Structure 1
Amino acid sequence: MSSQRQFTISRTLEPSLEPPKTSWTHWTRSSRQALKAGIEKKRDNGSQNVGYTMNALRERVLFKHISCVFRQFTTASFYATMALRKAPAKRKAASSPQPDAIDSKKAKTETKSSKANGSRQHHPMADEAERNGIVIRKYYPPEMSNQRARAYTTGDIPRPIEDLQAALEETANERRGVKVKNAVVHWFKMDLRHTDNRALALASEKAKEAGVPLIGMYLVSPQDYEAHLRSPPRVDFMFRTLEVLKADLARLDIPLYVETVEQRKKIPDRILELLEEWGANHLYANMEYEVDELRRETHLVRDLSENGKVFEVVHDTCIVPPGELTSGSGKQYAVYSPWFRAWVAHIHENLDLLELFDPPGKNPDDARKQFVTLFDCPIPDLPKNKSLDDEEKKRYRSFWPCGEHEALKRLDKFCEEKISGYAAGRNIPSSNGVSNISVHLAAGTLSARTAVRTARDRNKTKKLNAGNEGITTWISEVAWRDFYKHVLATAPHVCMNKPYKPEYSNIQWSYDQDHFKAWCDGKTGFPIVDAAMRQLNHIGYMHNRCRMIVASFLAKDLLIDWRMGERYFMEHLIDGDFASNNGGWGFSASVGVDPQPYFRIFNPLLQSEKFDPEGEYIRKWLPELKDVKGKAIHEPYSRGAGGIAKKNGYPEPIVEHKKVRDKALSAYKEGLAVEK
């Protein structure tokens, strides 16, 4: 099992609540087979544009097969919870069920409802989480109980992705009957590119078939940025990218309309108003897998359908959509290694997953005249709650050029010059051996599909797990991004301030503000930790090996609630991606999916000596220690360099590793014993 975790190298449908004979996995596979058959037929008939053919076929296959999976959600347990919102259609039975069967189903439904209702109490430490800023009560309820968190994974409470499935199923007939009107709209979110963008390609194909213009739309939501802890440098990167995207689309006579919606709850209503204003009946978007986004999309599917409009939400952010890979028991993999083997095998069996989508076609000649005000729409300034001063803007923009052209340029350069040596140098923070494309994956200026396809094409084989070690290792690291997004779909409680393993909520964490501030400021007295935190604070980025080191140090040396570190990362990273960041913190703090064992505690000194042996990284980010020679750089106060360190203002270690290690082991053991 690889020890490497991609925190933020940077959300798709789940299996049914109880594995049916025809599951979501079966539906996606049968759709894939139908799609491939259609593509081959087109090729046999001499089609010259397989890219657009794939898009059109994907859309037709989607409409043809979408109802298959949702019919599986007619179990009593699912509809017992759905009935609170909308009564389901009654199933017609071939013969009347026996009374015993009815009683059994009723008892099962009542049991699940009882479990769900009984889990509504808050976690005993919810107040502590609120006081320390872990739960933002302005937007979210108190920390849920462990019982309720488990209810999402057992199916006692429908997952948000399943609610979206139900919405799509219940509106399928209405949506199929809606005709294209004056325009088709694509809603840009975390997909700020015009190449290899599935929903955009489908929207373009729809507009082209109807002979109407395509409109791009991006809605600025300051409240979402605040609730989701979006960092100012990342918001700045997105806004700069919107300028690039607007110019790219304008060359195709496609407008990009950008508007700020101050209250996030008003976004659905505003979207409906804009569609009415533009005379558009069809809205396309790529799916996101966080809970807030899934719930918003569920309401939008229903609301737009009730108003005679169509909202098509499609998979794009993952190479393999969640729900297609399950273990032998039919569940989501909880360990990366077997999941990765299944991921590779699935792609090898479905090579069209790495087929890239064509950019949108050019709009009709009268599009500029028809929607002139949209072409004149400017990109707004940064929201006040995410503003940067002039010095910060200059600094971040020099380190992180924006847009999909820069993303492709950086990817090509990495694959040409560095990828072959990636396996050997990826863990050395002082080297420049990594791709530095995480910011582009997070903002969607580059798709994971393009990244893996480009790397694969550099290899001597088309296999993702064979050939050059550097290439295969890098692909396996990109795959972590898919893995953690799959986890969001099956374990939505990780989006709600709960660890993947709920029992770890019972650990008695420290909330020592002095220790936390020392960690944030890079003044703990542990050079490798401090150098990494200084790098983060200065450029909004930290090497992945260092992310693991500082996360382990916060959770296990300082015994501070890992969620405080998770939040700090999101508020400062330019490449902050919730799934990857949460997964990385879960690994390092031993509370997540496929984590390191809680008794494995990084020794910061040994990590420093192993991965920064000459101290180059430390000296770069800690000017106080630039004059310290040799191995003393790793531990100046105990290796004869304390005078230099003290003179230059570098602090002594705030804890003794051996003592706090023993304390951490005891805290983990005691916390896990609570529910035994």
Structure 2
Amino acid sequence: MHLIWLRTDLRLHDNTALAAACQRGPTVAVYLISPDQWQAHDDAPCKVDFWLRNLQSLSQALGKLNIPLLIRHAATWDLVPEVLGKLCRELSIETVHVNDEYGIHETRRDADVARALEADGVTFHRYLDQLLFQPGSVLTKTGTYFQVYSQFRKVCYERLHSALPRLVATPNAQAPLPIGSDPVPQQVAGFATPGETLRALWPAGEKEARRRLEQFCDEQISHYKDERDFPAQPGTSQLSAYLAAGVLSPRQCLHAALQHNQGEFESGNVGVVTWINELLWREFYKHILVGYPRVSRHRAFRPETEAVAWRNAPEDLAAWQQARTGLPIIDAAMRQLVETGWMHNRLRMVVAMFLTKNLLVDWREGERFFMRHLIDGDLAANNGGWQWSSSTGTDSAPYFRIFSPLSQSEKFDGQGRFIKQWLPQLAGLNKKEVHNPNAVGGLFGVTDYPPRIVDLKKSRERALAAFRSLPSRQAVGGVYE
């Protein structure tokens, strides 16, 4: 008997470890419920609910192949070797198969499990699955991990041209086993079930994930480069939650995109090329996790930025979290996050830069808040994005490049459609006033919208001064866009 231990790979199709296990003989699947570990990692309730709903869908699909899905509990990951060891003894398991995960805690957990199982005579097999390239295989000429995305992307393109990762065949049905599937829990203690409005935005299952991918490629990908920055338009794929849970693989995304671009990575439709580049950004940040494990330990990628004099400003942080900053584009974006479990990517950069530069609040506060609300929460992508915005990370925005919330709002939500969707109290303002209601005075002011909590110009100068004072920084003129 063989065991597939499912983690962030909740799919039947193109699942490397599942296919490998089934090729060896009769296979059983297991999923571990680890609430204390999930809380320690700030996993969002809506994300846990999404996992459970996808697990229910996957259980049905596995059932059609006569593969039982067992549910076991290991409150924290240090209990996993014992839990899996017991299961392997009960079922006389010969081999355990997993798709690799890349955070420092995940890597340590898997190493502990491998040692414990192999001591019992059970072999532990790990596979490349949630990435296109094995970390450590895309390196600089001096043998180090890349720190600049454009250089990383160039090598990835060379590899893709010579060896495109293939899709993995879906297993065939096996003979029925005398083992029943366990019921998938509807809820896990400590993680509230989100409302039906949020859940309806993110239907579970591979069928929905693949439908979204096909629809995006058919209708939107050609316009992706031109429309992806406008939050009021359906310009993005909204596949991130499915990728984060492994309901969809990066290989499936890459092959679907190439089908719509005559197999080209670097030429042809610019929208397709731009989207493939976003898949490679995802890849880049996961390679960073492996090459520079300090980012898994809440440390800045650039060590000198640990000396930034972040402000202890709980009231400002709370105003940002609760959409009370007085800047409509910031507040609308934060409402979108809390109410839908997702935020448009352009706005993730805008709100992150506002928190870390204009409010000079530590990026780790924002990273944590995002993880506690994102349905697509992913350590590598979330950490990479926050450190990019705060100028502490790899290939990050220069510290003197500071987005102006007003300019970003006017440029990417010119008509104020996105703002008015999430801040209906501003619906009566015209397209000029809606970006800056504090400037509308007298009888025409909006009485139920808060005043701005910070002076943008002064706060920008404060941020520049804080970064210029770092030992390795030199004074540079500012860029405000």
1:486 maps onto 2:300 in alignment: no
**1:203 corresponds to:** 21
CA shift, 1:264, in A, is: 3.2
**1:47 corresponds to:** none
Q: How many Å separate the matches in 2 of 1:202 and 1:324?
A: 22
Q: How many Å separate the matches in 2 of 1:516 and 1:240?
A: 33
1:523 maps onto 2:336 in alignment: no
Q: How many Å separate the matches in 2 of 1:192 and 1:456?
A: 24
1:188 maps onto 2:28 in alignment: no
Amino acid aligned to 1:414? F
CA shift, 1:344, in A, is: 1.0
**2:436 corresponds to:** 635
| SS of corresponding position for 1:385 | coil
Q: How many Å separate the matches in 1 of 2:349 and 2:269?
A: 26
CA shift, 1:279, in A, is: 1.1
Q: Is the 8 A contact 2:37 2:75 kept in 1?
A: no
Q: How many Å separate the matches in 2 of 1:422 and 1:567?
A: 29
Q: Is the 8 A contact 1:632 1:641 kept in 2?
A: no
Q: Is the 8 A contact 1:185 1:280 kept in 2?
A: yes
**1:658 corresponds to:** 457
Q: How many Å separate the matches in 1 of 2:271 and 2:207?
A: 24
Match of 2:374 among 551, 568, 573: 573
Amino acid aligned to 2:190? N
Q: How many Å separate the matches in 1 of 2:314 and 2:445?
A: 24
**1:361 corresponds to:** 172
TM-score (ref. length: structure 2): 0.96
CA shift, 1:630, in A, is: 2.4
| SS of corresponding position for 1:296 | helix
Amino acid aligned to 1:511? N
Summarize the alignment of residues 148-163 of structure 1 with structure 2, pairs less than 5 Å apart: none
Q: Is the 8 A contact 1:645 1:651 kept in 2?
A: no
CA gap 1:226/1:644 in 2 versus in 1, 3 angstroms: farther
4+ long deviations beyond 6 Å: none
Q: Is the 8 A contact 2:341 2:374 kept in 1?
A: yes
1:292 maps onto 2:94 in alignment: no
Q: How many Å separate the matches in 1 of 2:146 and 2:327?
A: 36
Q: How many Å separate the matches in 1 of 2:49 and 2:157?
A: 35
Q: How many Å separate the matches in 2 of 1:641 and 1:434?
A: 37
Larger Rg over CA atoms: 1
**1:545 corresponds to:** 346
Identity %: 40
Q: Is the 8 A contact 2:77 2:109 kept in 1?
A: no
CA shift, 1:644, in A, is: 4.8
Q: How many Å separate the matches in 2 of 1:673 and 1:196?
A: 47
TM-score (ref. length: structure 1): 0.69
| SS of corresponding position for 1:186 | strand
Q: Is the 8 A contact 1:287 1:316 kept in 2?
A: yes
CA shift, 1:463, in A, is: 2.2
Q: Is the 8 A contact 2:3 2:28 kept in 1?
A: yes
**2:251 corresponds to:** 449
Q: How many Å separate the matches in 1 of 2:295 and 2:273?
A: 29
1:465 maps onto 2:296 in alignment: no
Match of 1:231 among 30, 34, 44: 44
**1:498 corresponds to:** 299
**Would you tell me which structure has more helix in proportion to its own residues?**
1
Summarize the alignment of residues 7-406 of structure 1 with structure 2, pairs less than 5 Å apart: 183-207=1-25, 213-351=26-164, 353=165, 355-365=166-176, 367=177, 370-371=178-179, 374-375=180-181, 377-388=182-193, 392-406=194-208
Deviations 1:447-485 (A, max 9, x none): 01100111101113x121111111111110111110000
RMSD (CA atoms)? 1.4
| SS of corresponding position for 1:486 | helix
Q: Is the 8 A contact 1:625 1:644 kept in 2?
A: no
Q: How many Å separate the matches in 1 of 2:358 and 2:66?
A: 56
**2:398 corresponds to:** 597
Q: Is the 8 A contact 2:44 2:374 kept in 1?
A: yes
CA shift, 1:403, in A, is: 1.2
Q: Is the 8 A contact 1:348 1:463 kept in 2?
A: no
